[in-house]
Amino acid sequence: MASSAVADSFQTREDAKKQKALQEARAAGTAAPETDEFTGKMINPHNPEFITKAPWYLNQDKPSLKHHQAWNAKSMGTRDWYIRGTKGDVKTKFIKGACENCGATTHTKKDCVERPRAVTAKQNGKNLMPDEYIMELNLDYDGKRDRWNGFQPDDYKQVIEEWERVEAERRRVKAAEMEERAKLKERLKAQKRLLKKKRKQRRRQLRRQAEGKEDDTDTGDSDTGDSDTDTDTDSDSEASDDEDLGEKLKDFDKSTSTVAAKDDKLRTTTRNLRIREDTAKYLLNLDVNSAFYDPKSRSMRQDPLAHLKDEEKGTTFRGDNFLRQSGDSKALTELMCFAWDSYKHGEKIHDTAQPTQALKMFEVYKNRATNLKEQQQKELLDKYGGEEHMEAPRELIFSQNENYVEYARDGRVLKGSERALTKSKYEEDVLIGNHSSTWGSWFDAATGRWGFACCHQCMKNSYCVPIQKAELEAGAEPEDEGPGPEPAEPAEPAEPAALGDAATSAVQPGEAASAPSKLSEMRTSAFGHVLEEAEDLDEKKLADAVQQAKKKQKLERKEGRMTLDDERNRPYNSLAGEALAGEISPEEYEAYRLTRQRADDPMAKFL
């Protein structure tokens, strides 16, 4: 066979030239390409010879690419399904090896699914079951995974017919309810007309008895009554028509049924449209404990970024509940509630059927309520007055607060928050040179210089040597390691809160060192005296002091403000005041406290 194949493949030179010219013509497109004998498809003329030419041992004389297919390739699968309602051969006599229970030859007694018989088919040979129609389906990849494989649309007609029966029954029940409701309304109308007629007859009878007439029926009255009855009937019929119309408007969404589109191209869904570039809701916060996302309805009710502040969120998604309460949704809900309430009170209004009318009526209602409130307030002010008290002064409004503070008689804070001290532009509470107190916390009355309270040194650059308790009690001056204070003439004090010239010249250094002065004994409070602690006051002296203080204030207000020369000639007011010229008595201090005017008093301008 190999020799014959080699002999058939031999070509002469002329045949080889013709074959080469034909291949060039096919590649150029001037000749028709070869056709595969098995598949009927065109063979690409540009393919090289080693691809199109089959091996000699296959004995393939006709042009084809069949030799490129796998020799062990399986046949293509199918997507067919089992044939329903098909039965195999029907037996008339029991065959050996068949099922002993039913007589079928395609299974045994162990695999039989029929009811076990008391007298088996093997025993009597009657009522033999036909064989099962067994099919072996060679399903392909898609056929094995096709969930609708074998589905017959005719079977779904049963479901449609069942739903149609349910819908017909629902309509019948609805019609029966409407008919029953109409009959009930007619009965109520008849009872109402009868009751009205009885009331009119009763009123007519009472009127005649009051006028002294007999109970004879008057034709004129009967005609009037009939006309009234007819009028009432007409009004009742109109009211009933309005009620029926309102019920139709309110129940229009219940009477309509959903109509499914048969063509999928006509079905549109506009519920969850969004821009595809937007970030999905479930990707805003990947924390598993964050807002719940429902994949079926694509809804996330809570805020996924609830842990962030409003300025950090920006315009990101804040949950479906936030969207329902934003925009015009609140106004739409108010309009809907107004339409429902108005319909209950007999108004012909419907927010869906007539939205423009409903919105206009709602605006009229709101304006009417606002105007009525303003009119009532104006009538009350016109009748009782008091319009001048409607706007309180700003001093009285902003002077109140909720901070509880207790003050002493001299203005000190006893309980509550301390007053905020005014901060200076200079450094405060700066401790230098191992000192435990600040510079200027102590004043030496003997030399008139400021110093440190911890060591009583007057040199600012000195190193602190704390005073011993025994030296402090003895009144001895501590020894300075550094350069001591200059024992020169008393210098001017470095702070404004120093004593006056009169106090500095009157107090001698020896007297200050030997015994404490009376002024230092009184300098125990924040105001330089202890007069606020005095309890026993002379009433007569106090009254005289109050009169003198009032006269002084009156004279100052009469003369006006002090001039620049008066300010310069005014005596220096230090912590000691004018104690050397004459000490202040407790009665005079109490009179000053009672008559002085506080600048922070909100009612000070109304005095």
pLDDT in tens, 115-155: 999 999 999 988 899 988 888 888 888 888 888 888 888 88
Enter the pTM of the model.
0.23
Range 474-482 average pLDDT: 47
C-alpha of 203 from chain center? 63
pLDDT at 496 over 50: no
Range 452-465 average pLDDT: 88
Q: What are phi and psi of 453, to 5 degrees?
A: -80, -20
Range 423-429 average pLDDT: 73
Give the pLDDT score at 171.
94
pLDDT band at 271 (very low <50, low <70, confident <90, very high): low
Query: Alpha-carbon distance 477 to 466, whole Å?
Result: 11
pLDDT band at 431 (very low <50, low <70, confident <90, very high): confident
pLDDT at 379 over 80: yes
Residues 6 or more apart whose CB falls under 8 angstroms from that of 49 comprise none
**Dihedral sign of CA atoms 528, 534, 539, 541 in order:** negative
pLDDT band at 165 (very low <50, low <70, confident <90, very high): very high
Helix (H) or strand (E) holding 362: helix 355-384
Higher confidence at residue 267 or residue 205? Answer: 205
Higher confidence at residue 246 or residue 436? Answer: 436
Q: Which of 252-266, 287-301, 325-339, 374-388 has the lowest mean pLDDT?
A: 252-266
Residue 391: HSE in the Cβ half-sphere, 13 Å Cα cutoff: 2
pLDDT tens column, 308-322: 888 788 778 888 888
Buried b (16+ CB within 10 A) or exposed e, 515-545: eebebeebbeeebbbebbeeeeeeeeebeeb
pLDDT at 570 over 80: no
How many CB atoms lie under 10 A from the CB of residue 244?
13
Give the pLDDT score at 200.
92
pLDDT at 298 over 60: yes
Give the pLDDT score at 91.
83
Range 102-113 average pLDDT: 92
Reference 441, options 422, 420, 455; nearest CA is 455
Longest distance between any two alpha carbons in the chain, whole Å:
161
Give the pLDDT score at 599.
66
pLDDT band at 164 (very low <50, low <70, confident <90, very high): very high
pLDDT at 76 over 80: no
pLDDT at 181 over 90: yes
Give the pLDDT score at 297.
87
pLDDT at 43 over 50: yes
Give the pLDDT score at 446.
86
Higher confidence at residue 522 or residue 556? Answer: 556
Q: Is 428 exposed, middle or buried (0-12, 13-18, 19+ CB in 10 A)?
A: exposed
Query: Alpha-carbon distance 498 to 573, whole Å?
Result: 10
Question: Hey, what's the torsion of the CAs at 53, 54, 56, 61, to 10 degrees?
Answer: -90
Higher confidence at residue 111 or residue 577? Answer: 111
pLDDT at 54 over 60: yes
